[in-house]
Each structure stands twice: as structure tokens, then as C-alpha cells.
Amino acid sequence: MTAPSDEIKQLRPELWETINERYPGSMITKTDFVPLARLSKLLSQTRLTFVSSAGIQPRGSMPFDVVHPVGDFSFRRVPSALSVSDLEIHQIKYPTTGALRDLNVIFPIERLQELAAEGLIGELTPNFFSFIGYQMDPEHFEQTLAEDIADAVVSDGAEAALLCPA
């Protein structure tokens, strides 16, 4: 018989196992750290991009496939000059109660525009980058979408990147 104190101790590691059992192979585990890149300029001179897995996309663009059993490995460019009313959410795997009232709680496009206008950030890249999380094939994700977005971020002239995995 398990003592109550042992059950409590088991809660966190068992929770992790449960996630892996429900979504086999969905979690990425790394054993090393990548070398840090460094800012080459002051933040006030730096071009910043934003990358989000919240499924935010311009109205009228091809919706993400939110019910695909493995995942949608495509991404959308979101022009950084758009307003919140130009955007919509296509993802069902996280609570959107806050975002539906103020998108900035998950996709802070207005705050980033303000920081750039105030000069605290040098400027924003022409586009932000958007995809959906809940990918069930992390190896394929790393080989395709992760590399595709990294290339796109560089092509857009980003000198720093803020990321928000929803």
C-alpha cells in the first residue's frame, strides 16, 4: 500500500509520463544547450521579430488545420503593421478566453508596435511568424517547420527574436 506522502511525491513525474503516454513522442527532450548568439547593437537600434504558436493569422488567409491528427507544419506571415482587427485565431488547443477579448495577451502586436514607435526597439521586422503548436511528430517539426521559420526570420532581417509558444 502506498503512503499518502509517496503519492504526493509521485504527482509531478507521473504527470510528465502521462503526457507522453497520451501523446506518444510529442515532447522534445534535449541534452545540450546551443551557443548563445549576442545582440550586435543596442536594443534601440535592433530589428525585432515575433514568433508565435498561437495560430494567429490575417483574416482571409488559409486557416491552420487544427484537427489534423499529426499536426499542421505550415506557417503564416503576419505583417507587423496590421491591427488586431485584421487578425483571427485558428487554434483550439489552449484557452482563448483572454485572447478573444484582447489579442495582446497572447499576440502582443500593439505593445510591440508601441515599443518600436517609442524607440525602445529599433524597429519591427516587416512580418511576424505564426504557426500552431500541438505537433505530434517533433522530429519532423524540427526538420521542416522549425528550419523554415528560422530561415524566414533571417530573410526578414531579424536581429533579435521574441518567441511565444502558446
Partner 1 sequence: MQRAIERRGVPTVSMTVALDVTEHCKPPRSVFLPFMMGHHFGVPFHRELQLRIILAALDHLIKTERSGEIHLFPMTWAQVRQEGKVLEAEL
Helix, strand or coil, per DSSP, at residue 103: helix
Give one DSSP letter per residue of 42-102, joined into a string: -GGGPEEEEEE-B-EEETTSPPP-TT-SS-----EEEETT--GGGEEE---SS--TTTTT-
Residue 110 CB neighbours (<10 A): 13
Residue 21 touches partner 1, criterion: CB under 8 A:
no
Q: Which of 112, 116, 124, 132 binds partner 1 (CB under 8 A)?
A: 112
Q: Are 37 and 91 in contact (CB under 8 A)?
A: no
Query: How many amino acids of this chain bind partner 1 (CB under 8 A)?
Result: 55
Residue 43 touches partner 1, criterion: CB under 8 A:
yes
Q: Which of residues 143-162 bind partner 1 (CB under 8 A)?
A: 145-147, 149-151, 153-154, 158-162
Residue 84 touches partner 1, criterion: CB under 8 A:
no
- Hey, what amino acid is at 51? V
Question: Of how many residues is the chain composed?
Answer: 166
Residue 32 touches partner 1, criterion: CB under 8 A:
yes
User: Min. distance of Cβ 36 from partner 1 in angstroms?
Assistant: 5
User: Min. distance of Cβ 1 from partner 1 in angstroms?
Assistant: 28
- Give the C-alpha distances (Å, rounded to integers) separating 28 from 60, 114, 126, 132, 139: 32, 34, 30, 16, 8
User: Min. distance of Cβ 127 from partner 1 in angstroms?
Assistant: 14
- Interacting residue ranges for partner 1, rule: CB under 8 A: 12, 16, 27-39, 43, 51, 54, 94-99, 101-102, 104-106, 108, 111-112, 114-115, 120-121, 141-142, 145-147, 149-151, 153-154, 158-166
